[in-house]
Structure 1
Amino acid sequence: MEAVRNRAQREALPAPYVVGADFENVAGTGGLSGVDSAETTLRIGRVLELGGKRHARTALGDAEINLQRGAEGVARLDITNSTTQRFIQAAVAQEHVEHAEERVRHANSTRREVARWVQAARNPDSDLRAAEITLADAELKHEQALQALQGAKARLAASWGALTPDFDTVDANLDTLPPLADFGTLAGRLPQTPQQRLAQLETASIAARRRIAVASGKPDVNVSLGVRRLEATGDQGLVMSFSLPLGSQRRASYSVAEADADLAAVHARAQATGLEQRQQLFDRYQLMQQARSEVEALRTRMLPKAQEAVSLTRRGFEAGRFSFLALAQAEKTLFDLREREIEAAARYYTLLVEVERLTAHIPDAS
Structure 2
Amino acid sequence: MQKLCAALLAAASCASVAHAQAGPPAPITQAGPIYSLDQAVVAAGGSAPSTSAATAAIEAARAGRTVAGLRPNPVFQGQIENITGSGPYRGVRAAETTVGFAIPIELGGKRSARVGVANAQLSRAEIQAAIIAADVRLQVTQLYVEAVAAERRVTTARDQARIAGDALRAASVRVQAGRASPLEQQRADVARINAEANVERQLRLSDAARANLARRIGQPIDGRLDETLLDRLPDAAAYGPAAPVRTVGTLALAAADADFSIADAGVRLARANRVPDINVGPALRRLEATNDTAAVFTVSIPIPVFNNGRAAIAQATAQRTQADALRRVTALDIEQAITDAQAQAANAATTARAASGPALAAAQEAARIARIGYREGKFGQLELLDAERTLAETRVAAIDALANYQNARAQVERLTAPAPVGGNQ
The AA in structure 1 aligned to 2:418 is H
Deviations 1:108-128 (A, max 9, x none): 111111111112221111111
Runs of 4+ in 1 over 6 A off after TM superposition: none
- Structure 2: stretches of 5+ with no match in the other structure: 1-57
Say whether the 8 Å CA contact 2:149–2:400 is kept in structure 1.
Answer: yes
- d(CA) in 1 for partners of 2:265, 2:77: 34
> Partner of 2:217: helix, strand, or coil?
coil
- d(CA) in 2 for partners of 1:266, 1:312: 66
Deviation (angstroms), 1:181: 6.8
Q: 1:185 to 1:14 in 2, by over 3 A?
A: farther
1:178 paired with 2:234, answer yes
- d(CA) in 2 for partners of 1:70, 1:282: 23
Say whether the 8 Å CA contact 1:44–1:225 is kept in structure 2.
Answer: yes
**TM-score of the superposition, structure 2-length normalised?**
0.81
Indicate which of 118, 141, 147 corresponds to 1:90: 147
Name the residue aligned to 2:245.
Answer: 187
CA RMSD of aligned residues (A): 1.9
Deviation (angstroms), 1:200: 1.1
Deviation (angstroms), 1:282: 1.9
Say whether the 8 Å CA contact 2:263–2:323 is kept in structure 1.
Answer: no
Q: 1:208 to 1:38 in 2, by over 3 A?
A: same
> Partner of 1:13: helix, strand, or coil?
coil
- d(CA) in 2 for partners of 1:194, 1:183: 25
Deviations 1:21-70 (A, max 9, x none): 11122344432233221101011111111111111112222111111111
Q: Which has the higher contact order (CA 8 A, sep 6+)?
A: 2
- d(CA) in 1 for partners of 2:289, 2:240: 93
Name the residue aligned to 1:65.
Answer: 122
- d(CA) in 2 for partners of 1:224, 1:84: 63
> Partner of 2:227: helix, strand, or coil?
coil
Name the residue aligned to 1:158.
Answer: 215
Indicate which of 291, 309, 315 corresponds to 1:234: 291
1:108 paired with 2:165, answer yes
Name the residue aligned to 1:133.
Answer: 190
Counterparts of 1:186-205 in structure 2 under 5 Å? 187-188=245-246, 190-205=247-262
| Paired residues, number | 363
- d(CA) in 2 for partners of 1:81, 1:225: 63
Indicate which of 343, 365, 368 corresponds to 1:308: 365
- d(CA) in 1 for partners of 2:403, 2:244: 21
Name the residue aligned to 2:337.
Answer: 280
The AA in structure 2 aligned to 1:176 is R
- d(CA) in 2 for partners of 1:323, 1:46: 102
Name the residue aligned to 1:33.
Answer: 90
Counterparts of 1:193-272 in structure 2 under 5 Å? 193-247=250-304, 251-272=308-329
The AA in structure 1 aligned to 2:225 is V
Say whether the 8 Å CA contact 1:218–1:248 is kept in structure 2.
Answer: no
Deviation (angstroms), 1:364: 3.0
Q: 1:7 to 1:288 in 2, by over 3 A?
A: closer
Deviations 1:226-248 (A, max 9, x none): 11111112222222222222227
1:167 paired with 2:255, answer no
Say whether the 8 Å CA contact 1:86–1:156 is kept in structure 2.
Answer: yes
- Structure 1: stretches of 5+ with no match in the other structure: none
**TM-score of the superposition, structure 1-length normalised?**
0.93
Name the residue aligned to 2:350.
Answer: 293
- d(CA) in 1 for partners of 2:61, 2:256: 18
> Partner of 1:159: helix, strand, or coil?
helix
Deviation (angstroms), 1:199: 1.1
The AA in structure 1 aligned to 2:233 is L
Q: 1:186 to 1:340 in 2, by over 3 A?
A: farther
Say whether the 8 Å CA contact 2:352–2:405 is kept in structure 1.
Answer: no
Deviation (angstroms), 1:285: 1.9
Q: 1:69 to 1:335 in 2, by over 3 A?
A: same
Deviation (angstroms), 1:347: 0.6
1:21 paired with 2:78, answer yes
- d(CA) in 1 for partners of 2:78, 2:143: 68
Deviations 1:110-153 (A, max 9, x none): 11111111122211111111101111111111111111111111
> Partner of 1:316: helix, strand, or coil?
helix
- d(CA) in 2 for partners of 1:290, 1:73: 29
